[in-house]
């Protein structure tokens, strides 16, 4: 058996590649003994044979052929590894809500607005993007601040509106202010909408992580 393996499979460098390629097709198509592990074990067997053949080529001084065989062996391994990574990303859903100690830094990071520390959370929701191949998610956040803090908030907004910022700009409307983010590299990965409702003393943040 050892001599047959050595003579007809290991020493002939092209044959293990051919068998490995056939095993990949069998594994993907699952046409032989469907709903079993036949395709997987076939792929594993001929993958080991291809590895042995590559090592054999190195011992025989055929370095180029050995590296070529290893590259053939590595290609589907890297591909399947990448698919596993994508699947893991889909399953890696964020927590159901944003941590309280992340609310203030997040709003400041996006708008430069320093919100009062004494606020009440009305809505706090993180949802994984359905059908996404990685950890895409969206944040829906609404907080209520005290009437006594409104003067400081408006002063910050009016002062910030006079300055140029790469993050975005404030726009006044009947119910308060909207922060319109700029469509640039800073915000491309996390486009968001932020609103300050001065009539109801509320702030609303909707953010999408792409």
Provide the pLDDT for residue 204: 95
Annotate 153-175 with DSSP letters as a single string.
HHHHHHHHHTS--SSEEEEEETT
Mean pLDDT value of segment 62-73 = 90
Provide the pLDDT for residue 135: 66
Q: Give tens-digit pLDDT for 80-123.
A: 877 777 666 555 555 577 888 899 999 999 999 999 988 999 99
CB of 68 closer than 8 Å to CB of 56? no
Provide the pLDDT for residue 34: 78
- Let me know how long the chain is: 210
Closest of 145, 128, 146 to residue 137, by C-alpha: 128
Q: Where are the domains of the chain?
A: 2-91, 100-209
Per-residue confidence band for 191, with pLDDT thresholds at 50, 70 and 90: confident
């Amino acid at each position: 058996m050892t001599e047959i393996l050595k003579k007809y499979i290991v020493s002939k460098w092209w044959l293990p590649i051919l068998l490995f390629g056939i095993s990949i097709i069998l594994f993907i198509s699952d046409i032989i003994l469907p709903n079993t592990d036949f395709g997987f074990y076939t792929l594993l067997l001929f993958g080991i044979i291809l590895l042995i053949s590559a090592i054999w080529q190195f011992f025989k001084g055929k370095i180029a052929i050995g590296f070529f065989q290893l590259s053939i062996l590595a290609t589907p391994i890297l591909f399947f590894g990448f698919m596993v990574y994508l699947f893991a990303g889909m399953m890696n859903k964020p927590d159901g809500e944003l941590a309280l100690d992340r609310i203030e830094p997040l709003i400041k990071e996006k708008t430069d607005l320093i919100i009062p520390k004494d606020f009440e959370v009305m809505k706090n929701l993180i949802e994984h993007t359905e059908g996404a191949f990685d950890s895409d998610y969206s944040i829906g956040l609404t907080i209520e601040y005290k009437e006594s803090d409104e003067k400081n908030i408006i002063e910050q907004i009016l002062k910030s509106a006079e300055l140029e910022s790469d993050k975005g700009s404030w726009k006044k409307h009947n119910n308060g202010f909207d922060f319109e983010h700029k469509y640039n590299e800073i915000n491309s990965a996390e486009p968001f909408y932020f609103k300050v409702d001065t009539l109801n003393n509320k702030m609303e943040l909707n953010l999408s992580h792409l």
